[in-house]
Structure formats: C-alpha cells, structure tokens
Amino acid sequence: MHFDTAFDDLIGNEGGYVNNPADPGGETNWGITVKVARENGYAGPMRDMSRQTAKAIYARRYWLPQLEALPYAVAFQVFDAAVNHGLVTAVRWLQLAVGADADGKFGNKTLNASLAADPHRTVNLFNSTRLQFYTDLAIWQTFGRGWARRVANNLRKGAA
C-alpha cells in the first residue's frame, strides 16, 4: 500500500515539533498545524501529538484512494503537495502535468490521464510547477531554502 510508504517519506520532509513565529501555519508537529489538528479532533498540546495521530490525520485529510493506483513516485508528489498546499491545488498540479482539465477534482479522467502519462515526466512537470509556486510566495526569502530542498528530495524519489 502506497500510503504507509508515503507517510514515512513525508515525515522525512516534515520532521517533528516546530513553532516558528515566521511560519503562517504556526505551531506544528509531524507537519500537522495546530489548526488542522484541532479540526481533526486532536485537543492536546501540539508538542505531545503522536506520530500515529498525525498518520491518521494525513490518511483522512490528504490521501486520496486513487493515489494507490498511480506509480508511487507520482502518488507521493500529490500527497506531499497536498500537505503543503491543499488537496485541490495538488490535484490541479497533477492535472496540469498529465494534460487533464485542471479543475482540482480527481475523477476518472484525471486517473486515466495520470496512468497514461510517463511517470518521470509527470514528476518533473509537477515539481516545476510547485517550485515556481514557491518562488512566487512573499515568504520565499525565509523558507525558500527548505522548500527547494524538499522539491529536490521529491525529485530524487521520483527518479527511483
């Protein structure tokens, strides 16, 4: 199952507890913001949120069942981007990469276009869109180095 591997790979990008005042997401643990944690029923201190709680939130909020049908390299890109940018944006970037209508809805047309596309090309196009998005953000100067490393790491996963 892709989700278990994707979660482990994602945690490699996200890490543990942080509370950077420059981060608009605020207090975060395992990549889950306090806002998302509360929306998903976690009421405890963010520093104490378990990896298993984070995994359950990721599965519920950011993982689509259709991702299991895709090559892992592509599925991971969508999942990782959904965590940072929202599921609709991640799906839209996938659609742009595979030549489907970019409506942000993952239906049969998106699935079929994704399966027909070369996965390495998809990963490259997806991440070029993502990197351009990052560089356009006002907080690029503060967080850009980390985001660029994240995209580089994801490109490595996509090449495997």
- Report d(CA 65, CA 2) in Å as an integer: 10
Q: Name residue, tokens 């507890």.
A: 17
Tokens matching residue 65 = 């069942």
Query: Which residues contact residue 42 at a Cβ distance below 8 angstroms, ignoring those fewer than 6 apart?
Result: 32, 49, 53, 57
Q: What is the pLDDT of residues 32-72, one digit of tens each?
A: 999 999 999 999 999 999 999 999 999 999 999 999 999 99
Architecture of 1-61 per CATH?
Up-down Bundle (1.20)
3-class DSSP state of 33: strand
Going from the C-alpha of 31 to that of each of 95, 109, 119, 133, the distances in angstroms are 25, 31, 26, 19
Q: What is the pLDDT of residues 78-115, one digit of tens each?
A: 999 999 899 999 999 999 999 999 999 999 999 999 99
CATH value of 71-160 in 3.30.160.270, 3.10.105.10, 1.20.141.10, 1.25.60.10:
1.20.141.10
Given a cut of 80, whether residue 158 has pLDDT beyond it is no
